[in-house]
Structure 1
Amino acid sequence: MTTWHKWITIFVLLIICFASIIFAISIGAKNIPFITVWTSIFQYNSEDNLHQIIYEVRLPRVLGAVFVGAAFAVAGTVIQAITRNPLADIGILGVNGGAVLLVTICFAFYPAISYGWLTFFSFIGAALSTLLVFSIGIVARRNLSPLTFTIAGAVIAAFLHAISSGIAIYFDLNQELAFWYAGGVAGVTWGQLPLLITIVIVSIIIATLLGKQLTILSTGQEMASSLGINIKFLLFTSMGVIVLLGGVGVAVAGSISFVGLIIPHLSRKFVGHDYRWNIPVSALLGSTLVVIADLSARIIFAPKELALGILIAFIGVPFFLFVAKKLEGT
Structure 2
Amino acid sequence: MVMFAMRMKLPAHRIIFILAPAGILLALFLSARSGSTSISVGEVIEAIFSYDQENTKHIIVTTSRIPRAIGAMLIGALLAMSGALMQGMTRNYLASPSIMGVSDGAAFIITISIIFLPSMTPLEMMVFSLIGSTLGVGTVFGIASLVHNGLSPVKLAIIGTIVGTFFSSLSAALAVYFQVSQTMSFWYNARMHQINPDLLFFSIPFAVVGIVLALALSKSISVLSLGEEVAVSLGQRKGLVKALTMLSVVTMTGISVALVGKIGFVGLIIPHLTRYLVGIDYKWVVPCAGIIGGIFLTLSDCLSIYVNYPFETPIGVVTSIIGVPFFLYLIKTRGGGTSS
TM-score normalised according to structure 2 size: 0.91
Q: In the TM superposition, what is the alpha-carbon distance from 1:329 to its structure 2 partner?
A: 9.1
The answer to whether 1:150 aligns with 2:157 is yes
The answer on whether the counterparts of 1:66 and 1:290 sit within 8 Å (CA) in structure 2 is: yes
**1:219 aligned to 212, 226, 233, which one?**
226
Using the TM superposition, give the Cα deviation of residue 232 of structure 1 relative to its aligned residue in structure 2, in angstroms. 0.4
**Whole-Å separation in 2 of the counterparts to 1:62 and 1:80:** 27
User: Judging changes above 3 Å, is the alpha-carbon distance between structure 1 residues 228 and 141 closer, same or farther for their aligned structure 2 residues?
Assistant: farther
- What is the aligned counterpart of 2:236 among 223, 229, 244? 229
Q: Give the match for residue 311 of structure 1.
A: 318
Q: What aligned pairs does 1:150-229 form with structure 2 within 5 A after superposition?
A: 150-229=157-236
Amino acid at match of 1:237: L
Q: Is the 8 A contact 1:78 1:207 kept in 2?
A: yes
Tell me which of 17, 28, 31 is aligned to 1:10.
Answer: 17
Alignment counterpart, residue 274 of structure 1, candidates 281, 306, 316: 281
2:35 alignment counterpart: 28
Q: Would the alpha carbon gap of residues 189 and 166 (structure 1) be closer, same or farther in structure 2, given more than 3 Å must change?
A: closer
Unaligned 5+ runs, structure 1: none
- Displacement, 1:143? 8.6
Cα RMSD after superposing both structures: 2.0
Whether 1:137 and 2:144 are equivalent positions in the alignment is: yes
1:102 to 2:142 alignment: no
In the TM superposition, what is the alpha-carbon distance from 1:259 to its structure 2 partner?
0.6
Letter in 2 for 1:26: R
- Structure 2 unmatched runs, 5+: 1-5
Please name the residue that 1:111 is paired with.
Answer: 118
2:92 to 85, 96, 112: 85
Q: How many residues are matched?
A: 330
Q: Secondary structure at the match of 1:192?
A: helix
Question: Which stretch of the first structure deviates more once superposed, 28-37 or 199-208?
Answer: 28-37
**Which residue number in structure 2 is paired with residue 328 of structure 1?**
335
Distance 2:13 2:81 in 1: 18
**What is the aligned counterpart of 1:55 among 62, 73, 91?**
62
123-132 or 42-51, which moves further after superposition? 42-51
Which letter does structure 1 place at the counterpart of 2:113? C
Query: In structure 1, what residue type is equivalent to 2:59?
Result: Q
What CA distance in whole angstroms lies between the structure 1 residues aligned with 2:232 and 2:146? 20
Matched-pair contact (CA < 8 Å) for 1:180–1:255: yes
Measure, in 1, the Cα distance between the counterparts of 2:336 and 2:138.
Answer: 31
How far apart are residue 141 of structure 1 and its match?
A: 5.2
Q: Identify the match of residue 26 of structure 2 among 19, 26, 29.
A: 19
The answer for the alignment partner of 2:268 in structure 1 is: 261
**Compared CA separation, residues 81 and 174, structure 1 to 2 (3 A):** same
Change (3 A) 1:159 1:5: closer
8 Å CA contact 2:214–2:245 kept in 1: the answer is yes
Distance in 2, matches of 1:172 and 1:29, equals 31
Question: TM-score scaled by structure 1?
Answer: 0.94
Q: Percent identity?
A: 33
Cα drift, residue 300 of structure 1: 2.5
Matching residue's letter, 1:277: W
Whole-angstrom CA distance in 1 between matches of 2:311 and 2:84? 33
Shift in Å at residue 312 of structure 1? 1.1
